[in-house]
Amino acid sequence: MNAVVTASGLSKHYNNTLALDNVSFTIQPGRIVGLIGPNGAGKTTVLKAILGLTDFQGQLNVLGLDPRTQRDKLMEQMCFIADVAVLPRWLRVREAVDFVANVHPRFNRAKCEAFLARTKLTPDQRVRQMSKGMIVQLHLALVMAIDARVLVLDEPTLGLDILYRKQFYQSLLEEYFDDNKTIIVTTHQVEEIEHILTDLMFIRDGKIVLDTDMEAVGERFAEVMVSADMAATARQLNPLDERQVFGKSIFLFDGVDHARLQALGEIRRPSVSDLFVATMKGTYA
């Protein structure tokens, strides 16, 4: 299958700062890609480039289109939720549904109304009267009713409580996502999306520092709990990270043969957040 997004040599300057530094990657259809990085690493810039919201240097192909010149056509096949504050405050639920139904060729009104029926939203309610969680419910109802090929989520659950956050990702997985769709998501709440991701991209200082699928994460990285007497041996294997728990050391290894690690102690697959913290060490220093 053709890649949904192909980027090569993507660069972007904001005045004197380099937001993206010669970034290349591809995203395949039917994947859920987590684009994860510290604040100011260039996540949003990548998404904006994909959405045609910003200019850049380099090559970028999204669904066979150039987002710089064919944006209007592209947006028929692509949706995005940028973050909770994005729906205009004067908009009513009824108006939002009417509007999208009439300007979007791939919008399914019945689907949207079915989704809204399961929420507390009423047709005459304005966005300004809603809580943050309700705004996201409305936005999600609109987006899920659009049969798009790519969904871009930029911090979609920022500022929501845990109930809304769980519900958000659950709805996406159960009622939206399928093999023909691709979801690209950035978030700081890594723990909550780690089990739904199929691919992982770490971005730091405008560079992609890790681009892998989740199965490969388990093969490549290993977390080993090592007792104090073996710690010195473990350190010789160049661990990415070391931390102490209950008198034992937990080491994070990148690309070390699992057979060798077995001798040191119990091997686990590292969580994405531990991996992230280890990879981004010293970012803000």
Partner 1 sequence: MKTVYWLIKREFWEHRGGFFWAPVITSGVFLLLNLMGIVVAEVTGARNNFFGAFGSSDSMKLSDMVHSLDAHQMDLVGQGLDVAMMSASFLISVVFCFVVFFYCLGALYDDRRDRSILFWKSLPISNTQTVLSKVIAASVAAPFIAIVCGVLTGFAMLLLFAITLSLHGVGVWSLLTLAHPFHVIGFMLGSLPVYMLWSLPTVGWLMLCSSWARSKPFLWAVVIPVAVGVVLGWFHLLGVLELRADWYWREVLVRVLFSVFPGGWLQNAELVHIDHDPHAVIDFLSLSNSYSVLAKPNIWIGAAVGVAMLAGATWFRRWRDDS
- Contact between 72 and partner 1 by CB under 8 A: the answer reads yes
Judged by CB under 8 A, which of 73, 188, 207, 268 binds partner 1? 73
Q: Decide: is 16 part of the binding site for partner 1 (CB under 8 A).
A: no
For the bound state, the minimum distance from the C-beta of residue 140 to partner 1, rounded and expressed in Å, comes to: 13
Contact segment (CB under 8 A) with partner 1 among 33-41, 86-94, 173-181, 272-280 equals: 86-94
Torsion sign over Cα 49, 50, 53, 55? positive
Q: Which of 57, 46, 16, 6 is nearest to 208 (CA)?
A: 46
Cα(43)–Cα(214) distance, rounded to whole angstroms?
A: 19
Site string for partner 1, 130-169 (x = CB under 8 A): ---------x------------------------------
Question: Which burial class, exposed, middle or buried, applies to 102 when counting CB atoms under 10 A from its CB (0-12, 13-18, 19+)?
Answer: exposed
Rounded Cα–Cα distance for residues 234 and 268 (Å):
15
Give the rounded distance of the alpha carbon of 24 from its chain centre.
Answer: 17
Q: Does 55 bind partner 1 (CB under 8 A)?
A: yes
Three-state SS sequence of 201-237: EEEECCEEEEEEEHHHHHHHEEEEEECHHHHHHHHCC
Smallest distance from partner 1 to CB 193, Å: 21
- Our finding on whether 13 is near partner 1 (CB under 8 A) is no
Q: State yes or no: residue 282 binds partner 1 (CB under 8 A).
A: no
By three-state DSSP, how is residue 200 classified? strand
**Smallest separation, CB 102 to partner 1 (Å):** 5
Q: Applying CB under 8 A, does 54 fall inside the site for partner 1?
A: yes
Rounded distance between C-alpha atoms, residue 281 and residue 212, angstroms:
19
- Residue closer to partner 1 by CB (options 51, 201) is 51
Number of residues that bind partner 1 (CB under 8 A): 31
Q: Does 123 bind partner 1 (CB under 8 A)?
A: no
- Residue in 9, 21, 58, 100 binding partner 1, rule: CB under 8 A: 100
Determine, following the binding rule CB under 8 A, whether residue 128 of this chain makes contact with partner 1: no
Q: Which of residues 205-264 bind partner 1 (CB under 8 A)?
A: none
**Which of residues 55 and 179 has its CB atom nearest to partner 1 in the complex?**
55
Q: Which is nearer to partner 1, 26 or 102 (CB)?
A: 102
Q: How far is CA 4 from CA 117, 208, 212, 259, in A?
A: 33, 18, 16, 37
Contact residues: partner 1, CB under 8 A: 48, 51, 53-55, 71-73, 75-76, 79-82, 85-92, 95, 98-100, 102-105, 139
